[in-house]
Amino acid sequence: MNKVYMISVFAENKPGRLERITKVLTEANINILAFSITSTNGFGVIKFMVNKWKEAFDLLKERGFTVSLNEAIGIEMKDQPGGLYEVVKILSSKGINIESASVYVAETRKRAYLIVEIEDTAKAMDILKGENLKFLNPEEIK
């Protein structure tokens, strides 16, 4: 199955927190392909999709960050007007609810991926199998 992984890190909403996390990734020569921040009063969750997810996850854990690893699906879309619309139209027609999402631009103005986290990844992929969609192959981002 073409699953990808998102790394989530708990962070207090204070200056310097993102810097600390990205420094760890930088030093390990890990490339960030997509990321998002959700914050609310006092704290937030920072999510990354990286090329070496296992390594990044272990490293952040070892450095004492509160971190979790979550399955996600990368769905190819055209990096042009209407690209996102075409993809989410299919998801909504199948009743698939997006818990969280970010974007990985593989080739600017040509090809991008919508990275979505869904409650039941396996089930969602099963439903989407018959659709005219291309999934991001984890090998491709290594």
Partner 1 sequence: MYWNKELECISEEQLKELQFQRLKNTVKMAYEKVPYYRKKFDEAGITPDDIKKLDDLRKIPFTSKADLREVYPFGMFASPLSEIVEIHMSSGTTGKPVVAGYTLNDIEIWGEVMARCLTMIGTTKNDIVQVAYGYGLFTGGFGVHYGARKIGCMIVPASAGNTRRQIEIMRDFGTTILACTPSYALYMAEVAQEMGIEPTTLKLKAGCFGAEMWTEAMRTEIEKRFGLNAYNIYGLTEIIGPGVAHECVEKKGFHVFEDHFIAEIIDPDTGDPLPEGKRGELVLTTITREGMPMLRFRTRDITSLIEGKCACGRTFNRIERIRGRTDDMIKVRGVMLFPYQIEQAILEVQGVEPHYQIVITRPQHLDEIEVMVEMSKETFSDEVKHIENLKKNLERRIEDIIGIRVKVTLVEPKTLPRSEGKAKRIIDKRSLNE
What residues between 10 and 39 interact with partner 1 by CB under 8 A?
10-12, 17, 38-39
Task: State the nearest-atom distance from the C-beta of 69 to partner 1, in Å.
Answer: 9
**Residue 49 pairs with which residues in a beta bridge?**
34
Query: Which span sits near partner 1 by CB under 8 A: 42-50, 79-87, 124-132, 133-141?
Result: 42-50
Classify 45 as helix, strand or coil: strand
For the beta carbon of residue 29, count every other beta carbon within 10 angstroms.
9
Assess 6 for contact with partner 1 (CB under 8 A).
yes
Token pair of 111, please? 């090809």
- C-alpha span between 35 and 93 (Å, rounded): 26
Angstrom distance (rounded) from CA 35 to CA 100: 11
From 15, 27, 29, 40, residue interacting with partner 1 (rule: CB under 8 A): 40
Binder among 31, 54, 62, 99 for partner 1 (CB under 8 A): 99
Q: Are 38 and 100 in contact (CB under 8 A)?
A: yes
Instruction: Provide, rounded to whole angstroms, the least separation between the CB of residue 129 and partner 1.
Output: 26
Q: Shortest gap between Cβ of 40 and partner 1 (angstroms)?
A: 5
